[in-house]
Amino acid sequence: MLTQWQGKTAVITGAGSGFGLEVARLAARRGMRLVLVDVQPDALQAAADELTHAGAEVLAQRVDVADAAQMEALAQAVQGRFGAPHFVFNNAGVAAGGLVWENTVADWQWVLGVNLWGVIHGVRLFTPMMLAAARADPAWRGHIVNTASMAGLLTPPNMGVYNVSKHAVVALTETLYEDLRLVTDQIGASVLCPYFVPTGISHSQRNRPAELVSAPPTRSQLIGQAMSEKAVSSGKVTAAEVAQRVFDAIECDRFYIYSHPHALGPVGQRLRAIVDGDNPPDPFADRPEVGAQLRAALRAAS
């Protein structure tokens, strides 16, 4: 666990907004050196200016986390400037929905590229650096936090491509945790599973690469976008509160981090259905009016 933050290095992807920016702010207040990573230049520059003005030492890097070469260059830049990072927050993410058979190849490439491959690159590049630092110094401590979602523990309909990406992040991070425990006691891992928190992720299409823009959105995708924006914008838990929970979890070496623990009821229902061999439970059991609204909208569109 990390309890002494002063002078330590934090690598934060998706640092220009949402969870990433709030985690960076908290890290700066703790005296950490910051590596801010984002694909949106103006947001990245604004974050770098703010945190530099606050007194933090900042290395800002515009990176598409889905791109292996760009992530490898990032890792080299971090190593050259600060050495092995003590805290890695693989947080960059995008949102997309619609009926799962309507997602194009470009949709899958974009969402899996950012949400999953971005985390994979962060893990494969920074973990060896952290392990080397731990071997060289028995007092060295580090922690990796990967951002998944409650959609990584559930399977809400009409957002399959996002669900798949976040389930993979949960599995990757659970395995990372177990693998690390085989080889070291000096590096921990956690997975962040937020629910509906106003972060700007519902507008992530703004950063979609031109080469991965496909056909105009289908009716189901438009419906999913509207419902997602409504749910996210109405969230009462703030990104700043979730960022604090991230640091609290690191300090007590807690693996699962939730923004809305009360939302875990459906997770328990899903797991019981798996163990009992039952069919997947009704995702709208607690909100039947939402399910009725979605079914009516999709059936009217067909």
pLDDT in tens, 136-188: 999 999 999 999 999 999 999 999 999 999 999 999 999 999 999 999 999 99
Q: What are phi and psi of 281, to 5 degrees?
A: -70, 165
* Residue ranges in the chain modelled with pLDDT below 50: none
13: number of Cβ within 10 Å: 28
DSSP H stretches of helix in 8-104: 18-29, 41-53, 68-82
Q: What are phi and psi of 173, to 5 degrees?
A: -75, -40
Q: Provide the pLDDT for residue 159.
A: 92
Query: Catalytic pick from 162, 177, 195, 256?
Result: 162
Domain 9-264 has what CATH class?
alpha beta
Per the listing, tokens 């470009």 go with 106
Q: Is 258 a catalytic residue?
A: no
Q: Provide the pLDDT for residue 209.
A: 75
d(CA 300, CA 129): 54
Q: Provide the pLDDT for residue 202.
A: 57
Q: Provide the pLDDT for residue 233.
A: 67
